[in-house]
Amino acid sequence: MTSVLDLAPVVPVVVLDDPADAVPLARALVAGGLPAIEVTLRTPAALDAIRAIADGVPEAVVGAGTVVSAAGVEDAVAAGARFLVSPGWTGGLLDAMTASGLPFLPGVATASEVVALLERGVREMKFFPAEAAGGTAYLKSLAGPLPGARFCPTGGISLASAPDYLALPNVGCVGGTWMLPPDALAARDWGRVEALAREAAGLR
């Protein structure tokens, strides 16, 4: 599979409470040009949502986010996830994600964490929480001493700030939720989600 960082400029970060919404939401995002979809394991519906997207929207590349344990890795793989994302990492979690055979983005917020992952042969990472951890200025400062690392910054990024991140040489894509406004999700306004996804897809 093409690197998750290269599938689209934006990876929607999805929190679903009703798995029945998974397929129409994924179809709207894919139609808008955002095929990589991170479904976070924050709700009881998450694994069913991943399974529904994997089965019903084959053109989507559905991943599992908020993966924080080896058991979470196993559950995500069994549900059909095609990539894994964690907010941080430990040695055990990294081993489990590596053993899964899936692409993964372990979360980092410091230079030391980046160096430790590079030491383990991992070059693609999630920078989280992006805005709170220093934003574009911090990532720009990492590019010189750590050119081997590429990032998907996530956390507090908006349509307005995304282009600044995407302009950095060490950023492959950004994660965000702005194309998933709560009122549109509550109304199941998939047309609006598709329009916002198309706007996001046009950032690069």
Element (H, E) at 12: strand 10-14
d(C-alpha 91, C-alpha 117), whole Å: 10
Cα torsion angle, 47, 33, 20, 182, sign: positive
∠ CA 36-21-84, nearest 5°, is 35
Is 140 part of the annotated catalytic residue set?
no
Q: CA–CA separation, 180 vs 145, rounded Å?
A: 35
User: Is residue 140 a contact partner of residue 165, using CB atoms and an 8 Å limit?
Assistant: no
Is 38 noted as a catalytic residue in this protein? yes
Q: Which of 74, 126, 131, 140 is catalytic?
A: 126
Q: According to DSSP H, which parts of 22-110 are helical?
A: 22-31, 46-56, 70-79, 91-100
> What is the total residue count of the chain?
204
Report, as residue numbers or ranges, the catalytic residues.
38, 126
